[in-house]
Amino acid sequence: MKTNIPFAGFTGVLLMACMISPLTSAAQFQKVDNLRPYDKTGINVFEDPKDSASAFDGLKLKFGAGFTQQFQNLKHKNPDALNNTIGSFNPAVAGNRLKVITPGFQTAQANLYMDVQLADGIRLNITSYLSTKHHNETWVKGGYIQFDKLPFNGKIWDDIMEIATIKIGHFEVDYGDQHFRRSDGGNAIYNPFMEGNIVDEFATEIGGQVMLRRNGFFGLLGATNGMIKGNVDSLYAASNPDGKYHKSPSILLKGGFDKQVMKDVRLRVSGSYYGNQSSGSNTIFGGDRSGSNYQYIMELNSANPSSTTGAGTPLAFSGRFNPGFSKKVNTIMLNGFLKVKGLELFGTYETASGRTAKETDTRKMQQFAGDAVYRFGKTENFFVGAKYNAVTAHLANTAAITYTDDVKVDRVAGAAGWFLTKNILLKGEYVVQKYKDFPTQDYRAGGKFNGYVIEAVVGF
């Protein structure tokens, strides 16, 4: 869903927020239960908190928002690719020319959140992207209803909901823990770096999930439609040459342990599975409607920056790698998180397999990511961090190019940040990303980009 409401820039959005805030303060500061805060206090909060003890005293409405503005100074090259001159691109002529980029400000991004306490233990969320890299017009990300209590009388329901949380609607799929630490359009306050993982695990799908939590242990079971939006069309033969015309639901499993094991030590470990055996267009590795926080980097040049490039890579997702498991996918992620006073360690191991509708065999992808962040200052309002991320994958075979070997992409990033208040963050990152073992016909052959990005963030 979209409306044509373009945003001129970060300054304009902030001015609008300041003008509106006195009028909406009554709604803005109303307390809504079981909600991850959109400011600094939401850092290292994974699933929404569970509180079944609060008392309901009437319907409450809360508005929140996230704003970002980046300045980018990155450069890129692809010396091993055929016809690799940076410059004009003519789709009629074979070539792998990268887009011409210069230092400058990126498109400002803004999110709008509306949370409603409908009843005792029942909350509604609607999230909209007001302006992003992928869409500079307003899009509704999704909306869902969450039950931490049920409106039924009886001790059995109270006992069940003491440990259970039920979510139904069009929501962010809870596969793995990395999606809780990534940037999401205007919401970049949780992420100490500019980007999430190279293979970005993020999608919004229609379905439901049940999560149980007790004594630090948790487990989750969910099912969704397996696509980014609603779809009642049949999977006809022209788009599904594999002959599989049925749509399967996606199954989601998750379990782990998360507890403050000592006064200054918190430990969380989790494992997740996401699987779909016949989707119309699965996007678990490409479902972001906001876009990357690197702009136009390692992208083919084109006449229209908003178009899809000749290689089929949308310019909104610069710096990411999508393995292209659109028809069938099975993926597992293991995560570990340790916080000792101001030191945070977070790791990801992921292994996935899948294929497109045009392929007969499945391909594999593996990803590893690890980061260390140290927060210091009276309220941990300063931080420094470093991250390493590596992907190995087998590319999809196409009519033009037959890929026989795995390709590799790796990234090293260093970051630092300063929370002026719990709602205002200034952070910067220096990044180096390399593309290895891509064939010379591919525009990413020998690819590399490096440089810095500075970002201002507001969240409330």
Return the closest-CA partner of residue 336 out of 420, 219, 257.
257
pLDDT band at 441; cut points 50, 70, 90? confident
**pLDDT tens readout for residues 366-380:** 999 999 999 999 999
Residue at 50 is within a domain:
yes
Predicted TM-score (pTM) of this structure = 0.88
What is the domain range of residue 125? Answer: 2-190+200-331
Confidence grade of residue 442 (pLDDT, cut at 50, 70, 90): confident
Looking at residue 82, its pLDDT comes to: 82
In a domain, 52, yes or no: yes
pLDDT per position as a tens digit, 404-417: 789 999 999 999 99
Let me know if residue 368 belongs to a domain: no
Q: Is residue 21 part of a domain?
A: yes
Q: Report the pLDDT value the prediction gives residue 300, as an integer from 0 to 100.
A: 85
> Does a structural domain hold residue 169?
yes
Domain membership flag for residue 157: yes
What is the C-alpha to C-alpha distance for residues 451 and 460, in angstroms, rounded to an integer?
30
Q: Domain for residue 245, yes or no? A: yes
CB 407, CB 436: distance < 8 Å? yes
Residue 452 within a domain: no
- Domain count for the chain, please give it: 1
| Residues whose CB is less than 8 angstroms from the CB of residue 318 and which lie 6 or more positions away in sequence, other chains included | 292, 294, 295, 296, 297, 298, 299
Report residue 338: phi and psi, to 5°: -135, 130
CA distance 138 to 391: 33
Query: For residue 65, what pLDDT band results from cuts at 50, 70 and 90?
Result: very high
DSSP state of 183: -
